[in-house]
Amino acid sequence: MRVSVRLRAMRRAVLGVVGVVVAVLAAVALTIAGSVLVAVVTVVVVLAICAALFVVIGRNYDSWGYAERGADLLVTHGVMWRRLVVVPYGRMQLVDVTAGPIERKFGISTLRLHTASAGTDARIHGLTAAEATRLRDRLAALGESQSAGL
């Protein structure tokens, strides 16, 4: 399963806002400081970095995936640092669904799985609110039916 394209949209929107703010601030500050050339070069560099990050966000978005399998949930993400986590339903201790203010604006949330292990790092970013609720309820039900002590 793929996560919602709104995750990519949100990250790119945040990048755009931050990039424009940084570029404008740098341009104004450097122009006041008296060097228009440096200001132009800085803005170009900032925009280049933003363009690179724009591509990186796309690639990172493409890397996210999860699968509800018979006895476990599989989550994978990462381009440079690739990660794959398999969590058996019977080992889930609790399922968290969180949504920050920006995530809420874009109608997405983050789902986190906790087991008795501190190492389990199973997060799914960019689930639509409906999908997050469905997945949470399903995982809770599966966790209950397959629960396996410690």
Partner 1 sequence: MSTPNDQAAVGDRAGRPRGGRLHPLTPVVRAGRVLVSLAALATYNLENIRHAGWWLPAIAVGALIVGLIASALSWAFTRFAIAGGEVHIDSGVLFRRSRQVRIDRLQAIDIVQPLLARALGLAELKLDMAGGAEGRVRLGYLRLDEAQALRAALLAMAAGLDHRTPEAPQRPLVHCSGGAIVGGALLSTQALIGFIWVVAFLAGAIASRQPGVFTGALPGVVSVFGAVWQTIQQHFGFTVADSPDGLRLRHGLFETRAQTVPPGRVQAVRIVQPLLWRMFGWVRVDANIAGYAGHRAEDGRQHNSVLLPVGTRAQALLVVGRALPGVDIDAVAMTRVPARAKWRSPLLWWTYRAGADEAIVSVRSGLLTKVHAVMRHEKIQSVRLSVGPWQRALRLATVHVDSTKGPVDVVLHHRDLGEGRRIVDAEVLRAERGRALRMPDRWMTTSPGPSAIG
Give the residue, chosen from 8, 11, 91, 125, that forms a contact with partner 1 under the rule CB under 8 A. 91
Q: Is 71 in the site for partner 1 (CB under 8 A)?
A: yes
* Terminal Cα-to-Cα distance of the chain (whole angstroms): 29
Range in contact with partner 1 (rule: CB under 8 A) among 11-19, 45-53, 104-112, 119-127: 119-127
SS3 for 121? coil
Q: Find the part of the chain contacting partner 1 (CB under 8 A) among 39-47, 59-67, 82-90, 99-107.
A: 82-90
Strands 72-77 and 65-68, sheet pairing: antiparallel
Give yes or no for a contact between 39 and 27, defined as CB atoms under 8 angstroms apart. Answer: yes
CA distance 133 to 1: 15
Exposure of 21 by Cβ count < 10 A (0-12 exposed, 13-18 middle, 19+ buried)? exposed
Nearer to partner 1, 70 or 101 (CB): 70
Kindly state whether residue 84 participates in binding partner 1, applying the rule CB under 8 A.
yes
Residue 87 lies near partner 1 (rule: CB under 8 A)? yes
Q: Write each residue from 30 to 59 as x if it is in contact with partner 1 (CB under 8 A), else as -, in one continuous string.
A: ------------------------------
Residue 139 contacts partner 1 per CB under 8 A: no
- Rounded to 10 degrees, the C-alpha dihedral 124/130/136/142 comes to -110
Note whether 143 and 92 are within 8 A (CB). Answer: yes
Candidate list 9, 12, 88, 129; residue touching partner 1; CB under 8 A: 88
Q: In the complex, which residues of this chain contact partner 1 (CB under 8 A)?
A: 71-72, 80-88, 90-91, 93, 115-122, 143-144, 147-150
